[in-house]
Structure 1
Amino acid sequence: MSRNKINWRVPKGAELTELDKKVLYFQNKGHLVPSRKLIKTPEQIEGIRKSGIINTGVLDLVAQEIHAGMSTAEIDKLVYDYTVSHGAIPAPLNYEGFPKSVCTSINEVVCHGIPSEEEILEEGDIINVDVSTILDGYYSDASRMFIIGKTTPEKEKLVRVAKECLEIGMQAAQPFGFVGDIGNAIEKHAKKNGFSVVRDLCGHGVGLEFHEEPDVEHFGRKGTGMLLVPGMVFTIEPMINMGTWEVFIDEEDGWTVVTEDEKPSAQWEHTFLMTEHGLEILTY
């Protein structure tokens, strides 16, 4: 294996901890390891956890209210009002120019759909609602799929398998395993069910910023990518397509990601804390 950059640095004169010894073992073998700043302190973890409670509350509210005939702008208002009333900030709002508080992605829209008064939910639609919250400087991130009324068996299967992919990716993520283990497990399950995995977008570290290292790809080989170390916080958010994995970005708004063949896509996302025993879910 090729030698990677040195990320894990022990302060001069400091005594090696058991964690240091484990991480240095993998680094000396040439594996990519996180930097110390990616290992969250107990105080930071508690802050992210509190942010995640509000984030989950937002999605619970959307689940109660979402229905056919509702505009995605109404979803945006629900998200904004709930978030600010709990002393938090919707992370997407004005992030790199994004104009709304939530991403609403319907049917063939993979992600980053912009809420609109003109976009009305119809019977049979599937929609991903992606919510991110900042509380006291700490970030959390999650999304859920919703089926509006009754949809086709094919769309139902897509939504179900996408959720299974998230759960399987979670099971594959183990302390001192690798990011590639997650993607490998997800891709296998998607392909087994006749679906594809989007390759142009991925999960990510989160907590002190909206997007941190590592990139969590949802395809790949076991034993590759960054070492997963207790204290890391990141999302797993597989985007599963009914047809091709290829996508394009809408030229008009510069945000909306759509499947190349305009067949449906589904996505579920949680924020996770890596512990010594596996993943803890911080947002649902």
Structure 2
Amino acid sequence: MNIFSNLLSQPAQAPRQKKQRRGIEIKSERELEIMRQSAKIVATVLKEISEMVQPGMTTADLDAYAEKRIREMGATPSFKGYHGFPASICASVNNEVVHGIPNSKKLLRAGDVLKVDTGAYQQGYHGDSCITIPVGGEVTPEAAKLIRVAEEALYKGIEQVKAGNYLLDLAGAIQDHVEANGFSIVEDFTGHGVGRNLHEEPSVFNFRTREMPNVKLRAGMTLAIEPIVNAGSKFTRTLSDRWTAVTVDNSLSAQFEHTVLVTADGYEILTDRSKV
């Protein structure tokens, strides 16, 4: 699995973050109020970035903006320095799947498929979210469908979230929707628990698997659900920078992610951009 989303066996290294805790944490109402604030910062930054992206900008421009805004709102970028990652956002373009490093030399072009993933850490807790942006507002019909299906898949998974359901309920809903539309789910990377650590247990799969226990959801769990959808092969490879993962067949990739609270009768999307 990937270096960013499956670090449960290693000590966390986010700014000011304490030693990684074990097991699935159930958050108290006090902790959830703090997480709502962290998540609101993430949602605000991503909404602003989605509205400002245009051809001719660089991903380094977006990274500088994200860091500035996160700090202005009283938080620290969760990603910067995390296991050596050099930036405040992951910016992955077209065939780049995840963990793209912002670049000051590569200009965004109209029609690019841009994934922006970021996190914010304040008062001891993280928020984490990702969006896919069609640069210039227009992309090919295939790319538009890929982006739409990836976002729909996220919400298909979220719809399965409530106390008493299981992680594989949401994984199956995601997988079925993606494959019914002719795309593939990336299996090298998963979602995760999130809270006082950026990456906590459990791993949140986007496909049916027996690799991990089928965890029963409990109220108070906080999950980062993040399906990654490829137009072609599900397989990826990592570039020489040791971070950027790309599709093996050069096909496009799209991703959406929310930090979601499990409640007794459903869910609360903590990184809901429509509420900022």
Q: Deviations over 1:72-123 (max 9, x none)?
A: 0000011010011111100110100000110001110111000010121101
Say whether 1:243 aligns with 2:232. Answer: yes
Say whether 1:263 aligns with 2:251. Answer: yes
Question: Which residue of 191, 204, 215 maps to 1:203?
Answer: 191
Say whether the 8 Å CA contact 1:181–1:221 is kept in structure 2. no
CA–CA distance in structure 1, aligned partners of residues 91 and 269 of structure 2: 22
Query: How far 1:174 sits from its partner (Å)?
Result: 2.5
- Aligned pair in 2 of structure 1 residues 219, 185: CA closer, same or farther (>3 Å)? same
Which protein has greater RCO, CA pairs closer than 8 Å, 6+ apart? 2
Query: Secondary structure of 2:159's match?
Result: helix
Paired residue for 1:141?
A: 128
Paired residue for 1:58?
A: 45
Query: Secondary structure of 1:172's match?
Result: coil
Please give the TM-score of this superposition, normalised by the length of structure 2: 0.88
Query: How far 1:226 sits from its partner (Å)?
Result: 0.9
**Residues 85-164 of structure 1: pairs in structure 2 closer than 5 A:** 85-149=72-136, 150-164=138-152
Query: How far 1:221 sits from its partner (Å)?
Result: 5.8
Say whether 1:193 aligns with 2:181. Answer: yes
CA–CA distance in structure 2, aligned partners of residues 63 and 124 of structure 1: 14
Paired residue for 2:264?
A: 276
Aligned residue pair count: 249
Say whether the 8 Å CA contact 1:231–1:275 is kept in structure 2. yes
Query: How far 1:134 sits from its partner (Å)?
Result: 0.2
Query: How far 1:64 sits from its partner (Å)?
Result: 2.0
Deviates further, 144-153 or 267-276: 144-153
Question: Which residue of 55, 59, 64 maps to 1:68?
Answer: 55
CA–CA distance in structure 1, aligned partners of residues 259 and 144 of structure 2: 24
Question: Which residue of 34, 37, 45 maps to 1:47?
Answer: 34
Say whether the 8 Å CA contact 1:110–1:239 is kept in structure 2. yes
Query: Secondary structure of 2:109's match?
Result: coil
Please give the TM-score of this superposition, normalised by the length of structure 1: 0.85
Q: Deviations over 1:160-213 (max 9, x none)?
A: 000000010011222111111111111111110000000010000001100000
Q: Percent identity?
A: 39
Paired residue for 1:5?
A: none
Say whether the 8 Å CA contact 1:121–1:148 is kept in structure 2. yes
CA–CA distance in structure 2, aligned partners of residues 52 and 137 of structure 1: 12
Q: Deviations over 1:213-236 (max 9, x none)?
A: 0000100069x6111110000111
Query: Secondary structure of 1:105's match?
Result: strand
Cα RMSD between the aligned structures?
1.5
Q: Hey, which bits of structure 1, 4+ residues long, moved more than 4 A?
A: none
Aligned amino acid, residue 242 of structure 1: A
Paired residue for 2:221?
A: 232
Q: Which runs of 5+ in 1 are unaligned?
A: 1-33
Say whether 1:215 aligns with 2:215. Answer: no
